[in-house]
Amino acid sequence: RKEVEQDPGPFNVPEGATVAFNCTYSNSASQSFFWYRQDCRKEPKLLMSVYSSGNEDGRFTAQLNRASQYISLLIRDSKLSDSATYLCVVNADSWGKLQFGAGTQVVVTP
Amino acid sequence: GAVVSQHPSWVICKSGTSVKIECRSLDFQATTMFWYRQFPKQSLMLMATSNEGSKATYEQGVEKDKFLINHASLTLSTLTVTSAHPEDSSFYICSATGSGRSDEQFFGPGTRLTVL
């Protein structure tokens, strides 16, 4: 079983629509959770950290469910520029080691 | 701030040659650097963790004699792929964290290695 699992997609989303997807993690001791965005052939860029109480950053909302060990990301009012692969990332230990999911591809269409 | 650079951005080499990739933190001191490898449509896989002035810690299954890591200063880490073979073709990405900062990792732009 993978440490971090994501639906690879693609999620085809009309511009302006809302899309949401989850990621599950296996290490119940994980303390830090992140969503990164990765464009084709580029490095990952931090989109947002995920906090226990859930958090919002503009059109992006992240939720954490520790009991079920999943994290979600919701994108409202999708823009064409939101097309990317979204990586779910979980810390593996207290020394900064991260575990990455394989990513969920989102394609926003006009 | 928090910029990490990698050089080269892409490299094509013949099988059997060695390739060195540099990772630099441009505006902060990186106490820890991480090296990842990413194959198409797969997740980033951590190869090794390096701390300045000490030997790198390799992940299980990563050959330390094939992937040589040197972290000689607080702003530079190098990864050398020795005797590269076509199966080593991949996207190599480094990241860095610095003392006094949060646990956020700052990623370099990656190096695309193609071994013919």
Closest CA to A30 of A7, A4, A60, A6: A4
d(CA B34, CA B107): 9
Q: Which amino acid is at A73?
A: L
d(CA B44, CA B100): 26
- CB of A58 within 8 Å of a chain B CB? The answer is no
pLDDT at residue B9 in the model: 95
d(CA B10, CA B108): 13
Give the contacts of B60 (CB within 8 A, at least 6 positions apart): none
The token pair at B26 is: 């441009």
C-alpha B56, offset from chain centre: 11
Give the contacts of A64 (CB within 8 A, at least 6 positions apart): A33, A50, A51, A52, A54, A71
Q: Which amino acid is at A31?
A: Q
Chain B residues 67-106 with CB within 8 Å of chain A: 91, 93, 97, 103-105
Chain A residues whose beta carbon lies within 8 Å of the beta carbon of residue B34: 96-98
Chain B residues whose beta carbon lies within 8 Å of the beta carbon of residue A47: none
- CB of A1 within 8 Å of a chain B CB? The answer is no
Over residues B66-100, the pLDDT tens digits come to 999 998 888 999 999 999 999 999 999 999 987 65
**Contact at 8 Å (CB) between B77 and B98?**
no
- CB of A87 within 8 Å of a chain B CB? The answer is yes
Using CA coordinates, name the residue in chain B closest to A102: B43
Over residues A6-45, the pLDDT tens digits come to 999 999 999 999 999 999 999 888 888 999 999 988 999 9
Average pLDDT over residues B30-34: 89
What DSSP element (H or E) covers B82? none
d(CA B85, CA B116): 7
pLDDT band at residue A1 under the 50/70/90 scheme? low
Peptide bond into A10 cis (omega under 30): yes
Over residues A37-76, the pLDDT tens digits come to 999 889 999 999 998 888 999 999 999 999 999 999 999 9
pLDDT at residue B79 in the model: 97
